[in-house]
Structure 1
Amino acid sequence: MFDIIINVAFCVSSLLTVLILLLPSQYDPRPPNSGETSSRPKTSVQILVLGDIGHSPRMQYHALSIAKNGGKVVIIGYKESDPHPDLISHPNISIVPIQPPPAILQTKNKLLFLIYGPLKVLFQVVCLWRCLAYTAPPSRWLLVQNPPSIPSLAVASLSCFLRQTRLVIDWHNFGYSILALKLGPTHPLVRISLMYEKLLCKYAFAHFCVTDAMRSVLQRDFQLQAPILPLHDRPASHFSPIPDPATRIDFLKQLPEAKDMSSSIEKGNTRVLVSSTSWTPDEDFSVLIEALLQYSKLATSNPNIPGILAIITGKGPQKEMYLQRIASLQSAGKLKKITIRTVWLSMSDYAKLLASASLGVSLHTSSSGVDLPMKVVDMFGAGLPVVGWSRFKAWPELVTEGVNGMGFGCADELSKQLVELFGDSKKLETLRVGAQKESTRRWDDEWNPIAGKLLGLS
């Protein structure tokens, strides 16, 4: 009996020793010695993006602002596209890539999603834990993009507890509302996701959110006690207006998707419409297609209505479906005076395209009603007026109706707006002036007194 007790005690003590040895290193909050002060950064921040870093502009802007103000940044996420050039070249910023899930775990089928989903989450848990707890050095702060909340919030909370790191959640939307687009709002997994999100977010030291409306929801429905700081999206410096029309035309002449129509654009016979989309269910691209069909009928019978070159940027799961529909409509002759082209551009060329276009279109419908499309912020940064889906609560926080943009709620309304604006250059120019005024409101002006103050950088 005594031998059994000894063996059990040995096994338990060995297991505890292994667990202790495997614990991640902790952040040292003690102030530096006098000789280290000059070389040590003001603060250190991990930024977690459970998505493509290159497609997460807000989190990239966070990283650049922290580094610019003297902080050390490790940004953790998928490297599926090129991040902002300044992110790569800045000496205070390093990137820790997350291994993407195997392709076999990606599915659009609802039944297979219920099987593959948990396996994908388990794979992400392992990869996230390795990156947060071991690959990345311990930091004072961990800033997490939400959504996705599963499994980000759970892994991040445990890592912060063990490493003495302060957790900050940056709310772009709600994870459960995104899941509801796939499974339906009454699905049990959506309810579980909501409970999970409400529970895990309470462990955060502070919260950022993209709108005042979202802050109200977090206070009322999530009952958060930690500080909730609205931090509105603003454009980065590479988005800026091009006041000279000749310079705008010169860029379009060099753009492969527009150069063959540059003469018509220069004469005013064709307007350039730009829309950036992720080709997902929360951006119903059929609304724009239907509006262009209606516009085509009117423009064909009225020579005073110009043609449209619609340039669509972005990647996503529904792209091929819509491209097939567009090709079918074009071959049937239903898109006369309408040219639709898709393109994938570098960040620099995308910014120039926005500044050179006539009008921007946002199809973001908002799963929660309290988030806002970053694409509109970028368009305003480039001085581009916007028409966008406006049937959600937070829309007025971003667009001032008739000043820098207009809102619509159906294809008919969008079609009428296109006819109104493209048929009357004075109205379009009025909106452009408003958008250019909006472009003066920049990211650093918003970030420094809110996020910078919280992180001890301003």
Structure 2
Amino acid sequence: MSPLAIILWFTFGGLFLATATIFALLPSRYEKPSTTSGNASVSVQILVLGDIGRSPRMQYHALSIARHGGTVHLIGYDESPPHPDLLASPNVTIHGLALPPKILRSPSIPFIISGPLKVLWQICTLLWALGYGAPASTWLLVQNPPSIPTLAISFLMSVLRNTQLMIDWHNYGWTILAGTKGAEHPFVGLSKAYEIAFAQTAPSANITVTHAMRHELRGAPYNIESPIVTLHDRPASIFQPLTSASEREAFLTSLPATAPFAASVLEGKTKLIVSSTSWTPDEDFSLLLDALVSYAQTSPAPIVAIITGKGPQKAAYEAKIRALHAAGQLPGIQIQTAWLSIADYAALLRSADLGVCLHRSSSGVDLPMKVVDMFGSGLPVVAYSAYASFGELVKDGVNGCGFETAEQLAALLRRLFGGREGAEELVRLREGARGESALRWDEEWDRVLGRVFGFTV
């Protein structure tokens, strides 16, 4: 055999092997089952690039699909305990993503270095989970934000695996980044362009949390042409109004955070307020602290405030709370931080006198799910209100009240906790919240998405 023939043989043989290897490594594609009928043929990958246990809306999507007999592969960080019904469902499989190394999550590393390296890590883990860890599915349902690298990888895998891509828009990634890095940061402009590009080209369908967001995505600069439906957050069945005084007493006396104050709360001498926070800049906890300091100087009714949640600013605010107590600026005010199971959190909401929401919308068109859970528990709410979509959830004077400053919040607390008129107003607000509790997730999901997934007609 001539040298040229040998070279050609190895060249074409190598090309053949390389091509075969590439095709062998490509993830399998979705093929509609020919023998399976009904809802069992619907399979969905659900992706949340965050802690599954702290992503209630995506968990509720999974439960709704499983309830109809569909198969769910839920992909995300497996840190906090997920909803117990997810663990019990034979139709749901959880695929935990590997967290980035601690050094990439350390605030000591400059963002311009840690950010790209963290994204590279996420790209690798997402490619593996979506392409090989979970089987090809009918749909890939993705939470946005985070947008980077979620949208790009999801789009790529939907093409490679013959899967329809659906984006659930909770907010915009670029507006959140602008809130933490500043609107002029170069990454903000890049993030916005990236998000707009994939919004226009990637999805087969879109879900939004508000009508205002749906309207915005239809217009410039997003100009989305694929279908968009609004699915308002509704409480899951675990969030229910209080059924009896004895239920409230049993819970408050058993929970360590409330047990020392239970007798006074049950007698009505002390008011119990609850706030859930992510301890991040988009929820300015100093608003509540400043309001409580102002309230404490002029109002006789003591308050116990239970603050639930985890986040990067928690330790700093706990130190500030201790300093305020040491300086005598919170007379009659007790502030307790807690991390609760979903069952205890639901019981706390229905046992409280008032809920406080500090959520500030970075986009102006999202809504906080924590208020939905409070309404589901029959708990009236005072909430930060300076954004466009606020009225889609809280009806001022009906199921809650809005505020924009710490002094306005303090004035609301004085009014609602300050005598007979305040008590009567609080009763009316609680009745309004109970009315909202009648609107449930399952009914809303079936009405909006049941037909999209083929479960209803």
Q: Which TM-score band applies after superposition, normalised by the shorter structure?
A: over 0.9
Q: How does 1:46-57 map to 2 (within 5 A)?
A: 46-57=45-56
The one-character-per-residue Cα deviations of 1:140-169 (angstroms, maximum 9, x if unpaired) are 000000000111111111111011000000
Query: Which of 305, 310, 321 in structure 2 is aligned with 1:310?
Result: 305
Provide the C-alpha distance between the structure 1 equivalents of 2:245 and 2:432, rounded to a whole number of angstroms: 17
**Is 1:352 matched up with 2:347?**
yes
Q: In structure 2, what is the equivalent of residue 26 of structure 1?
A: 29
Tell me by how many angstroms 1:75 deviates.
0.2
Instruction: Please give the per-residue CA displacement for 1:329-379, whole angstroms capped at 9, x wherever unaligned.
Output: 101111001000001111001000000000000000011010000100000
The aligned amino acid for 1:115 is I
| Alignment partner, residue 302 of structure 1 | none
1:250-399 maps to which residues of 2 (within 5 A)?
Answer: 250-299=250-299, 305-399=300-394
Q: Which amino acid letter does the alignment assign opposite residue 213 of structure 2?
A: M
> Could you state the TM-score of these two structures normalised by the residue count of structure 2?
0.96
Counterpart of 1:417 in structure 2 is 412
User: Secondary structure of the residue that 1:41 maps to in structure 2?
Assistant: helix
1:247 CA drift (Å): 2.3
Superposed displacement of residue 81, structure 1: 0.7
Of residues 425, 428, 432, the one that matches 1:427 is 425
Q: Which residue of 1 aligns with 2:43?
A: 44
Unaligned runs of 5+ residues in structure 1 are 300-304
TM-score with structure 1 length normalisation? 0.96
8 Å CA contact retained: 1:268, 1:306: no
Cα-to-partner distance string for 1:389-411 (whole Å, 9 max, x where unaligned): 00000000000000000000000
* Amino acid across the alignment from 1:32: S
How far has the Cα of 1:244 moved from its partner?
2.4
**In structure 1, distance between residues paired with 2:249 and 2:296:** 24
Q: Measure how far apart 1:420 and its partner are.
A: 0.5
Q: How far is 1:188 from its partner?
A: 1.4
- For residues 373 and 37 of structure 1, the distance between their equivalents in structure 2, rounded to whole angstroms, comes to 38
The answer to whether the 8 Å contact 1:306/1:422 transfers is yes
TM-aligned CA deviation for residue 17 of structure 1 = 1.4
Which amino acid is 1:295 matched to? Y
Instruction: Provide the C-alpha distance between the structure 2 equivalents of 1:247 and 1:73, rounded to a whole number of angstroms.
Output: 35
Q: Distance in 2 between matches of 1:418 and 1:7?
A: 81
CA-CA distance at 1:268 after TM superposition: 1.4
Aligned residue for 1:360, secondary structure, equals strand
Deviation at 1:11, TM superposition (A): 3.1
Query: 1:20 is paired with a residue of what secondary structure?
Result: helix
Number of residue pairs matched?
Answer: 448
Residue type of the alignment partner of 2:132 = Y
Contact between 1:45 and 1:139, CA under 8 Å: does it hold in 2? Answer: yes
Separation (CA, whole Å) in 1 of partners of 2:306 and 2:337: 6
- Which of 6, 9, 15 is the matching residue for 2:18? 15
Aligned Cα RMSD in Å?
1.3
CA shift, 1:7, in A, is: 4.0
* Secondary structure in structure 1 of the residue aligned to 2:124: helix
Q: Secondary structure at the match of 1:167?
A: strand
Q: CA deviation at 1:295?
A: 0.4
Cα drift, residue 5 of structure 1: 4.9
Amino acid at match of 1:196: Y
Contact 1:237 1:442 in 2 (8 A): yes
* Aligned with residue 168 of structure 2, among 167, 170, 184: 170
SS at match of 1:70: coil
Partner Cα distance (1:149, 1:15) in 2: 33
Alpha-carbon deviations, 1:204-241, whole Å to 9, x = none?
10000100010111111310110010110000000000
Matched residue type, 1:22: L
Alpha-carbon distance in structure 2 between the residues aligned to 1:442 and 1:313? 23
State the Cα distance separating 1:120 from its structure 2 match.
Answer: 0.6
TM-fit CA distance, 1:6: 4.6
- Secondary structure of 2:146's counterpart equals coil
1:107–1:113 Cα contact (<8 Å) kept: no
Per the alignment, in what secondary structure is the counterpart of residue 388 of structure 2?
A: coil
**Aligned-pair CA distance for 1:264:** 1.1
**Helix, strand or coil at the partner of 1:144:** strand
Contact 1:42 1:457 in 2 (8 A): no
CA distance in 1, matches of 2:58, 2:45: 11
Shift of 1:449: 1.7
1:4 Cα deviation after fit: 4.8
Does the CA contact (< 8 Å) of 1:73 and 1:92 recur in 2?
yes
Q: CA deviation at 1:9?
A: 3.2
Runs of 5+ consecutive residues of structure 2 not aligned to the other structure:
none
**2:139 is the counterpart of 1:144:** no
Deviation sequence 1:36-84 (CA, Å, 0-9, x none): 448x813000000100000000000000000001110000000101000
